[in-house]
Amino acid sequence: MSANKYDFVIIGSGLGSLVCAAILSKEGFKVAVLEKQPIYGGSLQSFTRKGISFDTGIHFTGCLGNGQQLYKVFSYLGIIDTLQYKKLDTNAFETYNLGGREFSFAQGFDAFSDSLKSQFPTHGKDVGVYVSQLQSLAQSIPLLSLTKPESTFYPNTEKLSNILNSVSQNDLLKQVLSASNFLHAGHSQQTFWYVHAVIQYHLISGAYRLVGGSSQIADALVAVIKNNGGEMHISQEVDALMFEDKLVKYVSTKQGLRLETKNVFSGIHPSLTMKLIAPENIKKPYRNRLLGLENTVGSFTLYLAFKPNTFHYKNANMYFYDGDNTWISEQQKIKQWPYGFGFFPQADSLKPNYTNAASVISFVDYEKFAIWNGTKLGNRGADYDALKEELTQKMLDAVCRHIPEIKNCIAHYYAATPLTWEHYTGTPQGATYGIMRNAEQEYSLYVFSKTQVKNLFLTGQNTFLHGMFGVVMGALLASGEIVGLDYLLSRINS
Write the pLDDT tens digit of every residue in 325-341.
999 888 766 668 999 99
pLDDT (0 to 100) of residue 438:
86
pLDDT (0 to 100) of residue 153:
67
Q: Indicate the pairing of strand 298-306 with strand 357-364.
A: antiparallel
pLDDT (0 to 100) of residue 252:
97
DSSP bridge partners of 152? none
User: Which residue ranges make up each domain of the chain?
Assistant: 5-48+59-85+212-293+447-493, 89-205+295-430
* pLDDT < 70 regions, the chain: 1-3, 151-154, 332-335, 444-445
pLDDT (0 to 100) of residue 444:
66
Query: Please, what is the average pLDDT of the chain?
Result: 94
pLDDT (0 to 100) of residue 328:
87
pLDDT (0 to 100) of residue 329:
83
pLDDT (0 to 100) of residue 286:
95
Q: Which has the closest alpha carbon to 60: 93, 92, 82?
A: 93
pLDDT (0 to 100) of residue 336:
83
3-class SS letters over the chain: CCCCEEEEEEECCCHHHHHHHHHHHHCCCCEEEECCCCCCCHHHCEEEECCEEEECCCCCEECCCCCCHHHHHHHHHCCHHHCCEEECCCCCCEEEEECCEEEEECCCHHHHHHHHHHHCHHHHHHHHHHHHHHHHHHHCCHHHHCCCCCCCCCCCCCEHHHHHHHHCCCHHHHHHHCHHHHHCCCCCCCEEHHHHHHHHHHHHCCEEEECCCCHHHHHHHHHHHHHCCCEEECCCCEEEEEEECCEEEEEEECCCCEEEEEEEEECCCHHHHHHCCCHHHCCHHHHHHHHCCCECCEEEEEEEEECCCCCECCCCEEEEECCCCCCHHHHCCCCCCCCEEEEEECCCCCCCCECCEEEEEEEECHHHCHHHCCCCCCCCCHHHHHHHHHHHHHHHHHHHHHCHHHHHHEEEEEEECHHHHHHHHCCHHHECCCECCECCCHHHCCCCCECCCCCEEECCCCCCCCHHHHHHHHHHHHHHHHHCHHHHHHHHHC
Q: Rounded CA gap, 213 and 477, in Å?
A: 26
pLDDT (0 to 100) of residue 94:
97
pTM of the full structure: 0.95
Provide the percentage of residues in the chain whose pLDDT is more than 70. Answer: 97
Residue 415 backbone dihedrals phi, psi, to 5 degrees: -130, 150
pLDDT (0 to 100) of residue 77:
98
Multiple choice CATH, 5-48+59-85+212-293+447-493, 3.40.390.10, 3.50.50.60, 3.90.1150.10, 3.40.190.10:
3.50.50.60
pLDDT (0 to 100) of residue 334:
61
89-205+295-430 maps to CATH 3.90.660: yes
pLDDT (0 to 100) of residue 213:
87
